[in-house]
A and B are shown apart, each in its own frame.
Chain A
């Protein structure tokens, strides 16, 4: 279709630009705030152009920490990274295996097993938080990475995603591999896993960000400051009672906290699209 309507084009771009500004401006403001000192931000007249405090702010935040949350951000990022990766990989592993079992094996109570998994969808961490906390505490997993990661792995989203995908894989592929002498494990490894790469990538992105952004669970289960995640760190830096909030450090931390999820999205998106184009069942 050939269209030459300058006014329409202009309106379309205008709407787009306004939308982008609404979404991006707070982020821009945070990035700018991370380049000034406290005084400039507090007096309410912060310029919208970059200041000269960036190197100092970032070094301080990364390696020394703020006045209130005294842990360096690098350590918090490491904690968050371990948690997010643990959740993402743990969930992929658990859910791909359980989906494989539910779809490809006939065993007693298969339907029941599926429904039990399905029901957990209705019970996010926030709902089952007390019993979960009790279990984790009784197992002595408070202030450990295992305690941070494990309860968040147990949910059905991944299993459902893989189940849906496996259902679209033609049965003949399984039968052809049976005739080709591949057993259950080899079919999984040689055929199903390579075909699932796109689904795995999608799930990784979702779960990494989910894990990285966790707030409530780490807040409950970690007490040691050495186990603190970055989201909690930011919160601690902002909520102050008797001291001046170090906004520049809080904003610096916020900017740093954005980096890994953004990188994951950018990097995985490529794999995603590539997978979407290349995979054919």
Chain B
């Protein structure tokens, strides 16, 4: 087993397009690292560079202690699961899994042993003689994972492996991937644009945007203390509300003339300067509460989600969403008073978009 280390890795495509702008990241041995970001943020490019499918324009990629910049994909000791599975259509499931080992001149009985074992782990034993086209999406996904497992690689690479599955299967496979990774203990790098996958799977969550890393941390760190406005609005569903406000004084900001108390606020901010106030839809409560600030909201419409309801409206002229358990607020409410716990307020610099919290 081995970790993966990226040192100021850059990717510049023809025409001077910089897809990855100097990314440094350490992925510990045996951990599950998820790269998440919107499309075009460079996450897939980064993964493909680790795999050796893209050349590296600058910096170093290490797997274990070995710099692999110039190493062929086959010799990097990695296995990759593709979004469309990329199974060989003319080979049986067994041959699909055995192909990589055959090319490595692994002895036949060893191949057989490993394929059978992987098939057992993934519960695809009955399909070993079938061609991929005779399998359902979920089964193909398992075969693609089986192909990765039999290689016993140092690193698993997943490139949005669940995006082609339907919602139910996706949840199921997500759990299986997590369980499998824990059981095998293989360092994994997983690329997705789905924040639920990212939150649930990762030990280490890497949020990317515009070819750069926005924040690295555990899922709860990233959720609880987003370092930039981008991370704040990208992680969490529905996304965090951002309201334009002003600094009033230490621990106090105002939004549309309503004062909000803040726990996590940087010292020495000039009173009267502009600031952005972030509030998660699930962190605000209807009605006043002791020790909390309150703001008024005009409700436009309500979305029913079953267990919860989303109230869409405006606070001080800015779009605002509140999430509440069904029944907590009457659905025909037009005006809401929201109470805000000072610990749940996130502040961002309007210019740099960085968090203005305590250091």
Contacts and interface: CB of A to CB of B under 8 A. Distances in A.
B80 A176 contact: yes
Interface in B198-231: none
Interface in A184-213: 186, 190-191, 194-195
Interface string A220-231: 000000000000
Given A176-B86, A177-B99, A179-B73, 16 more contacts: A173-B86, A176-B82, A178-B74, A179-B52, A179-B53, A179-B74, A179-B79, A179-B100, A180-B99, A180-B100, A182-B103, A190-B88, A194-B90, A195-B90, A280-B89, A280-B132
Contact of B73 (A173, A178, A191, A279): A178
A177 B83 CA distance: 15
Contact of B89 (A177, A182, A190, A279): A279
A278 B132 CA distance: 11
A281 interface: yes
Interface of B: 51-53, 72-74, 78-80, 82-84, 86-90, 99-100, 103-104, 132-133, 147
A280 B89 CA distance: 6
B103 A179 contact: no
B44 to A, nearest CB: 12
A211 to B, nearest CB: 29
Given A173-B88, A179-B51, A280-B133, A190 B99 contact: yes
Contact of A175 (B53, B79, B104): B53
Contacts of B74: 178-182
Contacts of A278: 133
Nearest to B132: A280
Nearest to A279: B89
A195 B103 contact: no
Interface residues of A, number: 20
A108 interface: no
A6 interface: no
Nearest to B85: A172
A247 to B, nearest CB: 51
10 contacts: A175-B82, A176-B80, A176-B82, A176-B86, A176-B87, A179-B53, A181-B104, A182-B99, A190-B99, A280-B133
A182 B96 CA distance: 13
Interface of A: 170, 172-173, 175-182, 186, 190-191, 194-195, 278-281
A133 B53 CA distance: 48
A195 B88 CA distance: 9
Contacts of B78: 179
B108 to A, nearest CB: 16
Contact of B103 (A170, A173, A181, A281): A181
Contact of B84 (A172, A177, A182): A172
B63 to A, nearest CB: 13
A211 B54 CA distance: 44
Nearest to B104: A181
Contacts of B87: 176
A195 B53 contact: no
A175 B78 CA distance: 13
Contacts of A179: 51-53, 73-74, 78-80, 100
A173 B84 CA distance: 10
The 10 closest A-B pairs by CB, nearest first: A172-B86, A180-B100, A181-B74, A181-B103, A176-B86, A194-B90, A280-B133, A172-B82, A178-B73, A179-B73
Contact of A181 (B51, B84, B100, B147): B100
Nearest to A176: B86
Instruction: Give the residue among A179, A191, A280 with the most B Cβ atoms within 10 A.
Output: A179
B103 A180 contact: yes
Nearest to B81: A176
A149 to B, nearest CB: 31
B73 to A, nearest CB: 5
Nearest to A280: B133
Instruction: Give the residue among A172, A178, A181, A186 with the most B Cβ atoms within 10 A.
Output: A181
